[in-house]
Amino acid sequence: MIPTWLGGELVPVEKLEAHRRGLRHKAVSVFVLHGEEVLIQRRALGKYHTPGLWANTCCTHPRWGEAAADCARRRLDEELGITGLALRPRGQVEYRADVGAGLIEHEQVEVFVAHVTRRIATRPDPEEVMAVDWVSRAALMTRIANNPGAYTPWLRIYLQQHAAQIFAAAGQTSGLRD
């Protein structure tokens, strides 16, 4: 069950049902940055939508009653085996995108950024993530321009419409939490 708006009220709805109906629901996205580089992941082939496509570091839906920051920390660990990062909120973005197979993501997303002083190791869960890559933002934009179908709709939207919000002060690094 994910937090979803129905008739102006936040109610729990099964995730797949929210996507089938294109209902606006809560989501979380994380970007782990090392200077100008961003850690991206390639979604596992078993994912029910957008399998095999590249996405930002981590994205998911909070559980009913789960705080966005707690959700972001949980999914970084579950998907990539990453713990101990200082997550900084970057505000909310909203988007609506067709993700194929008759499914629509209509998300109100809490965005978080973590700055690291080195490329950190990952332990991807193969049921969630098939590959990771550290790539400069400029190179990522070039890759997306050359092959947009290899990237999730939300990553393309984030970079085209919300890059200034997400990457503000990206040159600053705070490192890992002690």
Choosing from 58, 59, 71, 110, the catalytic residue is 59
- The span from the CA of 54 to the CA of 48, in Å, is 14
Q: What H or E segment, with its residue span, contains residue 18?
A: helix 15-21
Rg of the chain, C-alpha, whole Å: 15
Q: What's the sign of the alpha-carbon dihedral 114, 119, 123, 127?
A: positive
Choosing from 37, 79, 105, 107, the catalytic residue is 107
Alpha helices for 68-152 (secondary structure H): 68-80, 137-146
- State yes or no: is 127 an active-site residue: no
Q: What H or E segment, with its residue span, contains residue 163?
A: helix 163-167
Closest CA to 119 of 55, 8, 53, 35: 35
Q: Are strands 129-136 and 9-13 parallel, antiparallel or unpaired?
A: unpaired
- State yes or no: is 58 an active-site residue: no
Active-site residues, by number, are 59, 107
